Structure 1
Amino acid sequence: MFEVYITKAAKYLPNEAVSNDEMENYLGLINDTASKARRIILRNNKIATRYYAVDKNGNSTHNNTELTRNAVVQLFDDNFTPQDLEVLSCGTSSPDVLAPSHAAMVHGLLKNKSVELNSSSGICCSGMNALKFGYLSVKSGNSKNAICTGSEKVSTWLAAQKYSHEIINLKSLEEQPIIAFKKDFLRWMLSDGAGAFLLENKPREGAVSLKIEWMESYSYAYELETCMYAGGDKLANGEIKPWSDFTPEQWLNESVFAVKQDVKLLDEFILPKGVESMSHAMTKNNITAEQVDYFLPHVSSNFFVEGLKNGLNEKGIVLTDEKWFMNLLRVGNVGSASIYIALEELLYSGKLKKGDRILLSVPESGRFSFAYAYLTVC
């Protein structure tokens, strides 16, 4: 078994940062009416700017494949060229097409040589799943290197015309912000972008590298219903009816392809299961909060931060505020790419010193999955 290092990281955020007041210029107005929930939701999630791969007319400037390629090519240099790449592992929840796979589409733009491909589907954890595939490939000796990515292109999914045939229920929003999370919440939180890591079996000389000590993943799908979904609708019995069982008329009239959340499940389980799984991961690998210098939690909204802190504290995992590293307020929630973009920022911030330990935490409300990685600065 070989050691595995993140030797380089890159991100690609399309176009210019979009402020809160500009958002509806890009996403449009549902039923030609300004959202009554937007300001309330933004007040809760605290996001100030985000990025869209569309212009103000709603026309795409990049697709997901192009966003990913634009992050990947930044990893190439004189020491590691496109011809050196052995594995390309890509995760996303918003592929451009149902088939071929996202990784195959990205490889098609790279035009380098034959490589092993892996595409990880899902929601936020798809980026971590892509990373784990590359990690295990290099660790096992199957390959000497891998490029792993997380990327999202959701702005066109959130365009107003996708919802214009449906009335959004935002009753009691002021008293219960969780109510707005089903659909309108997502319009004012999700954003576009891509991140990429280069994994190698030895650290880079003269540069900061991050050794991957371990990765852990947990799923609670065996006991919990679907919470976040797209391409279907939830029935009264909790089952998901797939898009292929709807008529084309229903696809539009019932916003079948819109991203949705079961807000009651989200409120009840996202934090407790996150705390439970993180506690398991740390106990299994025999680390404590004192052995974490930087904690990078992917959170969908600042709304959840205090609850997560309190839940971890109750479990005896006390991570003081100076250990938390987040960029949600500046780049928004980029789904599977968020953890890549956050770690890239920390890696090149000048803050890291040899021996520092970093804990990555990524939840996914799809059917409640959680992924973790523990890194050491070399």
Structure 2
Amino acid sequence: MKNVYITRIAKFLPNEPVENEAMEEKLGVINGKTSKARRIILRNNQIKTRYYAIDKDGNVTHNNAQLAAKAVEALCDETFNKNDIELLSCGTSSPDQILPSHAAMVHGFLKNGNLEVNSPSGACCSGMNALKYGYMAIKSGQVSNAVCTGSERTSSWMKADIFEDEVAHLQEIEEHPILAFNKEFLRWMLSDGAGAMLLESEPKGESPLKIEWMEGYSYAFELDTCMYAGGDKLDDGSLKPWSEYPADVWGKKSLFAMKQDVKLLGENILQKGVASMKLAMEKHNITEDDIDYYLPHISSYYFKENLYNEIERQGLHLPWEKWFLNLQKVGNVGAGSIYLMLEELVHSGKLKKGDKIFLQVPESARFAYSYAYLTVV
């Protein structure tokens, strides 16, 4: 089996950073009233700026595939160009359409010749699953290089017009026209952007990172759906997909808006996260002492202190000086967040040969977790 190295890492963040007070101007006001939930959610998540693929006039500037293609192009130079790519593996939770696949659309924008494409579906873990496919393809000798991406363009899913039909429907039937908190919650959490990594079988570049191992765990066998889009959650906890609703109901129930079961999230996301982290560490016989940098993808700083406490409660210890986060600056970019964190760490000048980096990505959709363990070589 071949060794696998991350030899280049790049990002693309669209337009200018958007501060908290400008969010509603960008995404739009629902039912003509400013959100009461926005300030509460922002106070908890502590995000200061994020990026949207929307210009100052509210026009879309990039779709998701274009964001990912821009990040891939940022990897390239005169010594490695896009025509050298052998495998393109792209993860996202917000594809631009159901078909064709996300990676096929990215490939279409790159126009870089015949190659293999892979499009893992899912939420935040899709970015890590894209990375794992590239990792396994190189490790098994199928290809000598792979480009993997994680990207989101959720701003278009969060715009006010997505919710207008539902608000109008609620008014028609004389219900109080306030959007459910579970639906509004994610409007103030999510951001646009993309990250890309070049994987190769040789340790090239200034600070290559060897991928020692990757692991994934799912708790869908015992937990209900928590984050979803394209369906509605029923009282019994099951998910009814959009395809089983009449077309005239899709807007009335905001079926294509992203939603979060906040209660289920709070009860499970940290406990299962630390439990699965322990499984991965025990399987590969590492301890906290074998981690120099801990990069957990968290959707909100609300979870930061609680995650630390849960780690301690389950018998581990990861002091704050090992943590590396950039949520406050770039926001929650879902499948792209771990790429953006690692990109910033790699270009920070902090890393030295022999450092060990532990990546943790949770996905609340049905509670899944992905891990990677890297060595600076």
Report if TM-score (shorter chain) is over 0.5. Answer: yes
- The answer to whether the 8 A contact 2:220-2:367 is kept is yes
Confirm or deny that 1:362 pairs with 2:348.
Answer: no
| Equivalent position of 1:129 in the other structure | 129
| Equivalent position of 1:352 in the other structure | 351
Confirm or deny that 1:157 pairs with 2:160.
Answer: no
| Equivalent position of 2:87 in the other structure | 87
- The answer to whether the 8 A contact 1:25-1:56 is kept is no
Unaligned runs of 5+ in 2: 168-176
The one-letter code matched in structure 2 to 1:354 is K
- The answer to whether the 8 A contact 2:185-2:260 is kept is no
Q: Displacement of 1:265 after TM fit?
A: 1.2
The one-letter code matched in structure 2 to 1:277 is S
How far, CA to CA, are the matches of 2:193 and 2:318 in structure 1? 29
| Equivalent position of 2:256 in the other structure | 257
Confirm or deny that 1:55 pairs with 2:55.
Answer: yes
Superposition map of 1:1-378 within 5 A: 1-164=1-164, 165-166=166-167, 167-168=177-178, 180=181, 182-205=182-205, 207-378=206-377
How far, CA to CA, are the matches of 1:131 and 1:15 in structure 2? 26
Deviations 1:53-75 (A, max 9, x none): 01244320100011000000111
Deviations 1:262-288 (A, max 9, x none): 122111111110010001001111111
Deviates more, 1:256-265 or 1:353-362: 256-265
| Identity among equivalent pairs (%) | 62
The one-letter code matched in structure 1 to 2:243 is S
Name the count of aligned residue pairs: 367
Q: Displacement of 1:307 after TM fit?
A: 1.1
RMSD: 1.0
The one-letter code matched in structure 2 to 1:61 is T
Unaligned runs of 5+ in 1: 171-179
- The answer to whether the 8 A contact 1:104-1:117 is kept is yes
- The answer to whether the 8 A contact 2:184-2:259 is kept is no
Secondary structure at 1:217 match in 2: strand
The one-letter code matched in structure 1 to 2:248 is E
Deviations 1:145-194 (A, max 9, x none): 00000000010110011112234467xxxxxxxxx4x1222111100000
Name the CA shift for 1:40/1:31 in 2 (closer, same or farther; >3 Å): same
Normalised to the residue count of structure 1, the TM-score between the two structures is: 0.95
Q: Displacement of 1:218 after TM fit?
A: 0.1
Deviations 1:236-291 (A, max 9, x none): 22211111111222111111111011122111111110010001001111111111
The one-letter code matched in structure 2 to 1:121 is S
How far, CA to CA, are the matches of 1:169 and 1:77 in structure 2? 47
The one-letter code matched in structure 2 to 1:283 is E
The one-letter code matched in structure 2 to 1:202 is E
- The answer to whether the 8 A contact 2:189-2:332 is kept is yes
